[in-house]
């Protein structure tokens, strides 16, 4: 197959772009988890924060990604290096599924179990870390899985602003009107998304409380 031959011939570049892509997705997802999970925990405890936080994350989601990249370009520190910008944008887009699923996951824990724990004298943090989070982890992971799959796709657009990654193949291929180049970017990206989906999905299944 033409595409396969092309990818093998250019395997160094394919690997390089794939690793750039992984970096964009990996770092932004990690940041989104570090910010989103605590936020999700927070809003599950304070009902008043629930709507504003989820609404904000929702609004960010509705901004077209290329437009968000465009808004952020003139910002001094961010626009100087497009990876920073791309990672910020990808992190923002990953927030909603992660916050929402953390919230749902924790709220979804059987209230009888939580009450039993509280009644027995577990402190709130013991309750959170030993009971609620472990029971919610499968749902939280599901949110992370969605975030990763979205990110893999969005990161291809990041190439439009020079952040590298597999999208670069796609845009170059479009400019060159060369399908092999386009596919050399699109196929690995699709595979990455699939692998993430399956891998995290498997983990979710293993961690689901019975």
Partner 1 sequence: MPDEPTTPVIEFRDVCFRVERTPVLSRVSLQVNRGETLVLLGRSGSGKTTTLKLVNRLVTPSSGEVRVNGISNAQVDVIHLRRGIGYVLQEAGLFPHFTVERNIGIVPHIEGWSAGRIRARVQELLQLVGLSGEFVSRYPHQLSGGQRQRVGVARALAADPEILLMDEPFGALDPLTRDELQREFLSLQRRLHKTVIFVTHDLREALRLGSRIALMEAGKLVTVLAPQEFLKSSDPWASAYVRAFGDGLETAANRGTS
Partner 2 sequence: MMRLPGIFAVLLMVAMVALLLSCSSSHGDRIVVGSKNFTESFILGELIAQQIETHTHLKVERRFYLAGTYICQQAILAGRIDIYPEYTGTALTVILKEPSGRDGTEVYQRVKHEYESRFGLTLGPAFGFNNTFAMEIRGAEARRLNIHALSQAAAFAPEWRAGFGYEFLERPDGYRGLVATYGLRFAETPRVMDLGLLARALKDHQIDLAGGNATDGLIPAFDLFVLEDDRHYFPPYQAVPVLREQTIRQHPEVGRALADLNDKISDTEMQQMNYAVDSQHRDTRDVVREFLREKQLLP
Question: Which residues are at the interface with partner 2 (CB under 8 A)?
Answer: 12-13, 16, 19-20, 22-23, 25-27, 30, 33, 81-83, 129, 133-134, 137, 141, 159-164, 168, 171-172, 175-176, 203, 206-207
Q: Which is nearer to partner 2, 40 or 53 (CB)?
A: 40
CB 109 within 8 A of CB 40: no
Q: Give the one entry of partner 1, partner 2, none that residue 113 binds, where binding means its C-beta sits below a cut-off of 5 to 8 angstroms depending on kind.
A: partner 1
CB of 134 to partner 2, least distance (A): 6
Tokens representing 8?
């093998």
2 binds, among partner 1, partner 2, none (CB under 5 to 8 A by kind): none
Min separation Cβ 127 and partner 1, Å: 10
- Which C-beta is closer to partner 2: that of 6 or that of 53? 6
CB atoms within 10 A of CB 172: 15
Q: Which is nearer to partner 1, 46 or 124 (CB)?
A: 124
Q: Which is nearer to partner 2, 9 or 58 (CB)?
A: 9
Positions touching partner 1 (CB under 8 A) are: 110, 112-113, 115-123, 126, 131, 134-135, 209-210
Query: How does DSSP assign the chain, residue by residue?
Result: -HHHHHHHHTHHHHHHHHHHHHHHHHHHHHHHHHHHHHHHHHHHH-HHHHHHHHHHHHHHHHS-HHHHHHHHTTSHHHHHSHHHHHHHHHHHHHHHHHHHHHHHHHHTS-HHHHHHHHHTT--HHHIIIIIIHHHHHHHHHHHHHHHHHHHHHHHHHHGGGT--STHHHHHHHHHHT-HHHHHHHHHHHHHHHHHHHHHHHHHHHHH---
Q: Output 87 or 135, the one with its CB closest to partner 1.
A: 135
Alpha carbon distance, N-terminus to C-terminus of the chain: 46
Q: Tell me how far, at minimum, the Cβ of 57 lies from partner 2, in Å.
A: 21
Of 53 and 145, CB closest to partner 2:
145
133 makes contact, choosing from partner 1, partner 2, none, with CB < 5 to 8 Å by partner type, with: partner 2
Please, what is the minimum distance in Å from the beta carbon of residue 204 to partner 1? 14
* Residue 207: closest CA among 157, 158, 114, 141: 141
């Amino acid at each position: 197959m033409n595409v396969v031959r092309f990818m093998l011939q250019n395997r160094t570049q394919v690997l390089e772009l794939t690793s750039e892509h992984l970096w964009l997705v990996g770092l932004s997802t990690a940041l989104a988890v570090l910010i989103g999970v605590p936020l999700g925990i927070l809003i599950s405890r304070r009902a008043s924060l629930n709507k504003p936080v989820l609404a904000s994350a929702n609004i960010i989601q509705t901004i077209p990604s290329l437009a968000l990249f465009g808004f952020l370009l003139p910002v001094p520190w961010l626009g100087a290096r497009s990876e920073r910008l791309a990672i910020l944008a990808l992190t923002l887009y990953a927030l909603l599924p992660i916050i929402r699923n953390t919230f749902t996951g924790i709220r979804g824990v059987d209230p009888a179990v939580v009450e039993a724990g509280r009644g027995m004298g577990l402190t709130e943090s013991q309750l959170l870390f030993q009971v609620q989070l472990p029971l919610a982890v499968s749902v939280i992971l599901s949110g992370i899985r969605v975030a990763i799959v979205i990110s893999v796709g969005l990161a291809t657009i990041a190439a439009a602003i020079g952040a590298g990654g597999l999208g670069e193949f796609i845009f170059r291929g479009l400019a060159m009107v060369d399908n092999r180049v386009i596919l050399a970017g699109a196929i690995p990206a699709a595979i990455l998304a699939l692998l993430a989906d399956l891998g995290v999905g498997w983990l979710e299944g293993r961690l689901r409380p019975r």
